[in-house]
Chains A and B, each alone.
Chain A
Amino acid sequence: AQKVTQAQTEISVVEKEDVTLDCVYETRDTTYYLFWYKQPPSGELVFLIRRNSFDEQNEISGRYSWNFQKSTSSFNFTITASQVVDSAVYFCALSEESGANSKLTFGKGITLSVRP
């Protein structure tokens, strides 16, 4: 069965600090997809990134970067120079190729608070 673990529950930083959100996953599939979603106080989940299991290249998008390491089954998310608007709950999620419906299995989320 697939599982996503986000061991950190709450993180508080001061604006402009860098912060890394950890994600560890378990799956028996060789083909799978990893996602990060942001849930701001308004409640709507916002898609941030999707990676497939064959692409271990790290990705950078503005202040956001993602580090995918199959050897440790981790898909960590770093926010550089954090801003107050980054305050939200961040979810890591997994879907398996063999599951035809591509349902997402989410972690419990990490609440990030960025203080001015």
Chain B
Amino acid sequence: DTGVSQDPRHKITKRGQNVTFRCDPISEHNRLYWYRQTLGQGPEFLTYFQNEAQLEKSRLLSDRFSAERPKGSFSTLEIQRTEQGDSAMYLCASSLEQGSSYEQYFGPGTRLTVT
């Protein structure tokens, strides 16, 4: 399988706990994106990386959220001190871009439930 993969697919955690998600992009893709999708809504942009550099963060990304992409390969998204409002599907996407916008390929997502 050469698509975008995400791990875990489902995570249930108690409020106040920390969680970390992983995304493995398509191997030659230099751009990696994180989105969040809540029920009945479209995905909302959280942050993006070009290679290992995190170049933009949405205002949706509070201080409790941190993302990394060491060595420009896989990425992790950590949420500290989770809140019930963090319950959502967290989607990762990757693309190969050299100037103009190209299609982003999405992974299956990690569904987070905070109890």
Contact = CB atoms under 8 A, between A and B. Distances in A.
B42 A103 contact: no
Interface of B: 31, 33, 35, 40-45, 48, 50, 55-56, 89, 91, 93, 95, 97, 100-109, 111
A91 B43 CA distance: 9
Contacts of A106: 42-44
Interface in A40-62: 42-47, 50, 52
Nearest to A102: B101
Nearest to A9: B40
Contact of B42 (A33, A42, A97, A108): A108
Interface residues of A, number: 26
A108 B33 contact: no
B94 to A, nearest CB: 12
A47 B103 CA distance: 7
A44 B106 contact: yes
Of A44, A108, A109, most B-chain CB atoms within 10 Å: A44
